[in-house]
Amino acid sequence: MNNKNTLIQVAALILALYIIKKLFDFFKTPQTTTTGGQTQEEIQVNAANLTYDDTVYQTQADNIEAAVWGGLLSLTEDDAAIFDALNKMQNIDDVKRLIQVYGIRGEGLVLQEYYNLPQTITMYLDNDYKDQINAIYLQRGINFTW
């Protein structure tokens, strides 16, 4: 019986911390620099070359964020989901637009870390997936590597 009560108390504490964090996130100003101090540089995109409308880039950026930072109890990244989002990019302007839309994002229950998309991919996507997506980009004529 003691173990059950302890588990309930731990779960309640985790839930309370998560709710408090989300409340702080709601009221804070958007992050403009990464944990390493980089700002989101101005990226020039040729809108005429974009394959999708902005809702697709937003969805893919959100998918990458969810795959990297996961949910409340997620301990690992979903490399396949990150790969799938990156694989949707058909040209260099698609990649640049995804980087723009992703902006600077971060997570952390206690310590907050903020990264732009290239930093996020470099740090969290497995090298085998990076090699695969870089090879696909090369075949598509996209002069960009993660």
Question: Partners of 115 in the beta sheet?
Answer: 105
Q: Give the pLDDT confidence score for residue 5 in this predicted structure.
A: 81
Which is the CATH superfamily of the domain at 31-139? Annexin (1.10.220.10)
Q: Are 34 and 116 a contacting pair, CB within 8 Å?
A: yes
pLDDT in tens, 93-119: 999 999 999 988 876 555 567 888 998
pLDDT of residue 97: 95
DSSP SS3 for 68? helix
Q: Which two tokens stand for residue 60?
A: 């893919």
Cβ atoms of 60 and 88 within 8 Å: the answer is yes
pLDDT tens-digit profile of 21-33? 666 655 555 555 5
Cβ-proximal residues to 44 (8 Å cutoff; 6+ apart), any chain: 96
pTM: 0.72
Residue 25 has what pLDDT?
Answer: 58
- Chunked in runs of 10, what are the mean pLDDT values of the chain (146 residues)? 78 77 59 53 88 97 89 71 97 95 76 81 94 98 94
- 114 beta partners: 106
Annotated domain spans of the chain: 1-30, 31-139
